[in-house]
C-alpha cells in the first residue's frame, strides 16, 4: 500500500537550533584547547537571555560569554528589534564540574579501554533515496532552509527575511516504498514588518498582513524553490517536482515575532531534525554540547557511518544499525 511520509527541518535561527549551536561552540572551544575535555553543555535561550548549564572537566579556560555572543551574531541576531541580539543579551553560566562518579567509569589508564559516559541505545540509518544516503523528505527540508539562509545572507532579494524559519516536506511513496512525487511543502519564515497599515484599524492591519503574505508566498515559489531545484543533481529526485505540489507558506499569516523572543529554545529539542526526520529510529539522546565520551553522539555517528557505507556498497537499499551501552563499560563491536 502506498503512503505519505513527512519530515521537517529548522533553520540556524530557530531558538532550539540557536541553543544547539551555542552548546557546540562551547564544546569546540574546550576541545581545541584541551582535547581530553569532558563536556555536557546545555543552553537555554529566551528573550534577551542565554543560560548555560551542564558539567565540564577540563584544563582549559574559555570565555563563555564571548563564545555565546559570537554564535548569536553569526546566526544573524544583530538588531535590537529582534528582542534577542548578540551584543546586548544577558549570558548566565551555571556550568559546574563533571561528577567524579561518572568520570571514574569513563577515563582509564589505557584510552582504548575508555568506558561509555552513559547507558543507552543509538541508531544509524541510511537509504539510497538520495546521493547522501539520507531520507528524501528530510534532505529536501534541510535543503530548502539552507538555500533560504543563503538568500538572507546575500541580501539581494527577499530582503525582509529574518533568521528563524522552518520547513516540512511530504513525499508520496508507492506500494514498493519508492518515492513517486512530492505532495506538500511547508515553509514558515520570520520576516520584517515590511508593509505598514494605512491606519490603526484592524481592517487596515489585516490588509497589510495579507499583502506581506502574498509577497512572501510569491517569493518562496518563484525565487526560493527554483534555487532549491537548481541545487539538486539527482535525476530521480528532480522528477518528483511538479506543478501540483501543495505549498503552505507562513500558514498563520504573519511571522514577525520569532527566534528566542517568540519561543524559548533548549539544547537537544530537535533530535529528529538532527538525525533522520522520523525514518529509521532514534535512541532518544541529543548530540549538541557533548564530547565523544558521550555515546549519544559518537556512537550515533559511528553507526551512521556503518549504515551509509553498507548502502553505498549495494548491500541493501536501506539499513538500520543499533548499538547499546552500559555506563562505564568499554565496548567492542562484533559483526556477525
Which grid coordinates belong to 253? 499569516
Average pLDDT over residues 197-226: 97
Q: What is the CA 315 to chain-centroid distance, rounded?
A: 29
Per-residue b or e along 68-88, where b marks 16 or more CB atoms closer than 10 Å to that residue's CB: bbebbeebbbeeeebbbbbee
What CATH class is the domain 15-112? alpha beta
Q: Where are the alpha helices (DSSP H) in 176-252?
A: 202-219, 225-230, 235-238
End-to-end CA distance of the chain: 33
Give the separation between CA 54 and CA 316, rounded to whole angstroms.
40
Predicted pLDDT of residue 329: 78
Residue 105 clears pLDDT 80, i.e. is over it? no
Predicted pLDDT of residue 253: 95
Dihedral Cα 239, 240, 244, 247, nearest 10 deg = -130
Q: How much of the chain exceeds pLDDT 70, in percent? A: 93
Predicted pLDDT of residue 110: 65
pLDDT class of 335 with cuts at 50, 70, 90: very low
Predicted pLDDT of residue 236: 94
CA proximity to 289, closest of 39, 7, 3, 6 = 39
Which grid coordinates belong to 107? 577515563
Dihedral Cα 283, 8, 41, 18, nearest 10 deg = 180
Which grid coordinates belong to 274? 538532527
Predicted pLDDT of residue 122: 93
On whether the CB atoms of residues 287 and 78 are closer than 8 A, the answer is no
Residue 173 clears pLDDT 50, i.e. is over it? yes
- When mean pLDDT is compared across 98-102, 168-172, 199-203, 264-268, the lowest value belongs to 98-102
What long-range pairs does 148-152 form, CB within 8 A, spacing at least 24? 148/11, 148/187, 148/189, 148/224, 149/11, 149/12, 150/227, 151/223, 151/224, 151/227, 152/76
Average pLDDT over residues 120-129: 95
- How much is the mean pLDDT over the chain? 94
Amino acid at each position: 500500500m502506498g503512503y505519505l511520509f513527512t519530515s521537517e527541518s529548522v533553520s540556524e535561527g530557530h531558538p532550539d537550533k540557536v541553543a544547539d549551536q551555542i552548546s557546540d561552540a562551547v564544546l569546540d572551544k574546550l576541545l581545541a584547547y584541551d582535547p581530553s575535555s569532558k563536556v555536557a553543555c546545555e543552553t537555554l535561550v529566551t528573550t534577551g537571555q542565554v543560560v548555560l548549564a551542564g558539567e565540564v572537566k577540563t584544563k582549559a579556560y574559555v570565555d563563555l560569554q564571548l563564545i555565546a555572543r559570537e554564535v548569536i551574531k553569526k546566526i544573524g541576531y544583530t538588531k535590537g528589534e529582534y528582542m534577542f541580539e548578540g551584543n546586548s543579551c544577558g549570558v548566565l553560566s551555571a556550568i559546574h564540574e563533571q561528577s567524579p562518579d561518572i568520570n571514574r567509569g569513563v577515563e582509564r589508564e589505557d584510552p582504548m579501554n575508555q568506558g561509555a559516559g552513559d547507558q543507552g541505545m543509538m541508531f544509524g540509518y541510511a537509504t539510497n533515496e538520495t546521493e547522501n544516503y539520507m531520507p528524501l523528505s528530510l534532505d529536501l527540508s534541510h535543503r530548502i532552509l539552507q538555500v533560504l539562509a543563503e538568500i538572507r545572507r546575500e541580501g539581494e532579494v527577499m530582503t525582509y527575511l529574518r533568521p528563524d524559519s522552518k520547513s516540512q516536506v511530504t513525499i508520496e511513496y508507492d506500494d514498493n516504498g519508492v518515492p513517486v512525487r512530492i505532495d506538500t511543502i511547508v515553509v514558515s519564515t520570520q520576516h520584517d514588518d515590511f508593509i505598514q497599515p494605512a491606519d490603526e484599524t484592524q481592517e487596515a492591519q489585516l490588509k497589510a498582513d495579507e499583502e506581506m503574505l502574498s509577497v512572501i508566498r510569491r517569493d518562496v515559489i518563484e525565487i526560493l524553490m527554483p534555487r532549491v531545484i537548481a541545487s539538486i543533481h539527482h535525476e530521480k529526485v528532480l522528477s518528483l517536482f511538479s506543478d501540483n505540489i501543495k505549498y503552505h507558506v507562513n500558514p498563520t499569516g504573519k511571522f514577525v515575532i520569532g527566534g528566542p523572543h517568540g519561543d524559548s529554545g533548549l539544547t537537544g529539542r530537535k533530535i529528529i531534525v538532527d538525525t533522520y526526520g522520523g525514518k529509521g529510529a532514534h535512541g532518544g539522546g541529543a548530540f549538541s554540547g557533548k564530547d565523544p565520551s558521550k555515546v549519544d553522539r559518537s556512537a550515533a555517528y559511528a553507526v551512521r557511518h556503518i549504515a551509509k557505507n553498507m548502502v553505498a556498497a549495494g548491500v541493501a537499499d536501506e539499513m538500520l544499525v543499533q548499538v547499546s551501552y552500559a555506563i562505564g563499560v568499554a565496548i567492542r563491536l562484533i559483526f556477525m
